[in-house]
Amino acid sequence: MKSLIQKLVETPGPSGFEYAIRDVIREAIDGHADEVRVDALGSLIARKGTQTEDGMRVMVSAHIDEIGLMVTHIDENGFVRFTNIGGISPLTCYGGRVVFMDGTRGVIGIDGIERGKMPMLSDLFIDVGATSKADCPVKVGDVCGFERPFLDLGKRMVAKSMDDRVAAAVAVEALKRLEATPHEVHFVFSTQEEVGIRGATTAAFGVDPDVGFAVDVTRSGDTPRVNPKMATALGDGPAIKVRDSSFIADPRLVDWMVTTAEKADIPYQLEVLEAGGTDGRAIQMTRGGVPAGCVSIACRYIHSPSEMVDSDDVENAIKLLVVLLSAPIVLD
């Protein structure tokens, strides 16, 4: 499992440029799905199972894009200026290393900041080692992701893009382990979540599910001065989302998820996330509306190059997803 997560987090794929990570997913699920297709926005959709009388068409969505940077212009000395793809804080950038889709590397520098003043993204630049604009190997519109090796701390794992590659790993593993299901399950590895839940929006319309689940990371409320306070903690089990700022999970589905977790003796925690959204919104709001929920993995330092998750939470999230997808879904 750790090697799959490592492979997923170390493959670059900022929103809109998911071709390399999509190939890694395709290879990881090879031979385990009944049908695999890619939609126009690049989401990979793997169908598994045949719907029986007790079954539904179920969508499970984990996004495979990650936050990154896009080149806006290059100055006469070859310094690369950029804008953000998704939610990037200047705090996590300075001194960081980036890798462009063609393998070009660079470091993020900053200057001209007044002492004590919070920098803005426009104060930062990427230095790719160019000596002039003419020999700069990148051009306007090129994208890069952060570069940081996977770190195995035993029970805890750290990497850039745990959001949401750890959930992609959970979905891959659940797809592989799912044996008997009454449902036709569509595992969606969605694109462009970080820029507005776009891939899941078209995927949900295309799949036309009866019910759906997002799988994503959520904030962890167990660091020293977390603000706002949150009930989640690393290691307390997968989180069953009640609400985030993008959607309110269907309460019937939440109840059923809780009951199912308890029956299967899988630890879980309840989650209310005050700022942040997931593919669950796209599923819920598609067509005439669809009951939707979300299985979350608590994560520290989200959207930094060092996002931390707990190994037991990952394993239990897989177990929970498999159990949820193996039973008839009861909404009452």
Which residues bind to Zn ion, rule: CB under 5 A?
163-164, 216
Residue among 49 and 277 whose Cβ is closer to Co ion = 277
Residue among 163 and 236 whose Cβ is closer to Co ion = 163
The partner in contact with residue 313, picked from Co ion, Zn ion, none with C-beta cut-offs of 5 to 8 angstroms by kind, is: none
In the set 193, 194, 271, 307, the catalytic residue is 193
Torsion of CA 235, 246, 49, 270, to 10 degrees: 30
Residue among 10 and 307 whose Cβ is closer to Co ion = 307
For residue 323, give the amino acid letter: V
- Which residues fall within 8 angstroms of residue 225, CB to CB, at 6 or more apart? none
Phi–psi pair at 258, nearest 5 degrees: -65, -50
- Output the six-digit token pair for 305: 């190059």
Smallest separation, CB 163 to Co ion (Å): 4
Q: Is 154 left (phi over 0), alpha (psi -120 to 50) or beta?
A: left
Separation between Cα atoms, residue 1 and residue 42, nearest integer Å: 25
Residue among 6 and 15 whose Cβ is closer to Zn ion = 15
Q: Which of 55, 53, 85 is nearest to 70 (CA)?
A: 85
Site size toward Co ion, by CB under 5 A: 1
User: Strand 269-272 vs strand 239-243: parallel, antiparallel, or unpaired?
Assistant: parallel
Separation between Cα atoms, residue 230 and residue 67, nearest integer Å: 23
DSSP string, 37-85: EE-TT--EEEEE----TT--EEEEEEE--B-EEEEEEE-TT-PEEEEEE
Smallest separation, CB 201 to Zn ion (Å): 15
Residue among 163 and 244 whose Cβ is closer to Zn ion = 163
Max Cα–Cα distance, the chain, nearest Å: 67
Smallest separation, CB 134 to Co ion (Å): 36
Asked about 147 being catalytic, the answer comes back as: no
The strand ranges marked E within 232-286 are: 239-243, 269-272
Contact criterion met (CB below 8 Å) for 62 and 215:
yes
Separation between Cα atoms, residue 208 and residue 324, nearest integer Å: 19
| Residue number closest to Co ion, CB atom | 163
Residue among 202 and 326 whose Cβ is closer to Zn ion = 202
The partner in contact with residue 236, picked from Co ion, Zn ion, none with C-beta cut-offs of 5 to 8 angstroms by kind, is: none
| Residue number closest to Zn ion, CB atom | 164
The partner in contact with residue 18, picked from Co ion, Zn ion, none with C-beta cut-offs of 5 to 8 angstroms by kind, is: none
The partner in contact with residue 173, picked from Zn ion, Co ion, none with C-beta cut-offs of 5 to 8 angstroms by kind, is: none
Smallest separation, CB 200 to Co ion (Å): 13
| Residues of span 73-132 touching Co ion by CB under 5 A | none
The partner in contact with residue 216, picked from Co ion, Zn ion, none with C-beta cut-offs of 5 to 8 angstroms by kind, is: Zn ion
Smallest separation, CB 167 to Zn ion (Å): 7
Site map (CB under 5 A) of Co ion, residues 155-194, x = contact: --------x-------------------------------
Q: Does an H or E element contain 151, and which?
A: strand 151-153
Smallest separation, CB 273 to Co ion (Å): 11
Q: Given the rule CB under 5 A, which residues bind Co ion?
A: 163
Catalytic residues: 193
